A and B are shown apart, each in its own frame.
Chain A
Amino acid sequence: MSTAAAPLPAGRATDASMRGGIGQPAWANMLFVLPYIVVAIGLVVVPMVLGIWLSFQDYDMLGGWNGGVAFDNYVNLFGDRIFLGTIANTLLFVLMTTPAFVVIGLFLAITLNGHLRRHAVLRSVFFASSVLSVTVVTLIWRLVYLPDHGLLADITGLVGIHGIDPVTSPTWALPAIAVVTVWWIIGLPMTLFLAALQQIPPEIYEAAALDRASRWRTLVSITLPSICRTVVVVAVLEIILQFQLFGQALLITGGGPDNRSRPMVQYIYESGFRDLQLGYAAAASQVLFALMLVAALVQFSLGRQRGEA
């Protein structure tokens, strides 16, 4: 499964939690939340701060700390063609997968939003692959992509196309990873869209049926406008998730050929845990985090404008 966090209604939750308490305010009540807060500060806030500090240091896993280097790590990063390539690969991957997740997820949710047994069975089919670990998923797909014996080669061989080998193709390596990723976790957008569809009051559909509105018209005038907020949420969530591409690339292509499918997280992993340059890897992490925030904010504000227009 991915590192997905289902989006919770953040704004509303904050307001409601302020009103929701019962009884008098008391310091003792803080003890309920204290254990979690301690864990969150110790294992997220402190590492965040430490990571920012590390990114300005010459810190080697074996050689230890060799003092501050100001912006050297960042300067070196942006002078490294491989790192710049990983940014391009990551952005390309996000552009390939996010629309696919939204479109296929929406299609599945709309067609499988029913109470019949076949709806339930098909929903289970599309969700099932997302419970598998990245190791199992990549193992399955490496076998599927095998040039001579793989399922893909067997199928294309039937129509006379031989020598299919996406994993070692500079052009097709990244799309091949994108296909695996969409196959793996299409269940997440589908589920989020289904949850949104079930919030639409059935009376609206009954009224549309009385007006003999066509299926297409119902979809365009009722269904899509009702869930446009969810479309934005899913798009933002997928952008954030797909920026984190790592295991699929590491285990299917190893980033190759010629770095054409190496994502940013793999670069962080390799510079930090293979080359042991922790300061440098920490700087790359900050760049990743900043890019993710920017991409999510851009998508969010675009979606909002469209929603209001």
Chain B
Amino acid sequence: MEYAIEVEDLVKEFGEHRILNHLNFKVPRGKITTILGFSGAGKSTLLKHILGLLRPTSGSITVLGNDLQKLSELELREFRRKFGMLFQYAALFDSMNTFENIAFPLREFTKMTEKEIESRVFLLMDSVGLNRDSVKKLPSELSGGMRKRVGLGRALALQPEIMLYDEPTTGLDPITTKMVNDLIYDTNKSHEDRMLTSVIISHDVQATLKISDYVAFLEKGKMVEFLTTEEFRHTKNPTIRKFLDL
């Protein structure tokens, strides 16, 4: 099996606090992996390590065959373009409308003409289910679900190899939650040909079991289990059972 992310003996300490405690796991390429855990388990810190935004105290992270420890700050910035990320509240640039938000990475990193950018943005809007009426709307004029769609469109603009989702359904109503989960699943399936890997950080157990191929469970900085969804569903681990039976 090919792996997109390989974490070996990862430790992160902030002063005397150990946030990540000897983590070992591998994220399979082209699959959806969800990292579950209680608040304060170290999920967001792990995500920042995968992105190279934080350096580990010890251990290593290899992403798409590149040891992040060995990359310089400038190389890391370049490397991050292989990632797309959907933030908890979409993190859209509030001074830009829908079109400009999605076009932003294309304008920053490609030499595409305005016409090419326009057709690419419309293609992305179609793929995430945004209609043309929202093109000129500012983020403040969009609903939570629409913002997620725009955020996903922006994240997919540069055709990333790894998509990261930071608690994508937190604070959304059940219908929008389902829509976002379907969107994540569909996005991964529609990019199956180029082996798009998705990593989701979530609390949402039901959605996790529905859309994920693999589930990792973190507790107090330690990896309790890394299993297939089916194995996870039937695990007898008491901590996970407590989480599942909530």
Task: Answer whether A and B are interacting partners.
Answer: no
Which B residues contact A (CB, under 8 angstroms)? Answer: none
Which A residues contact B (CB, under 8 angstroms)? Answer: none
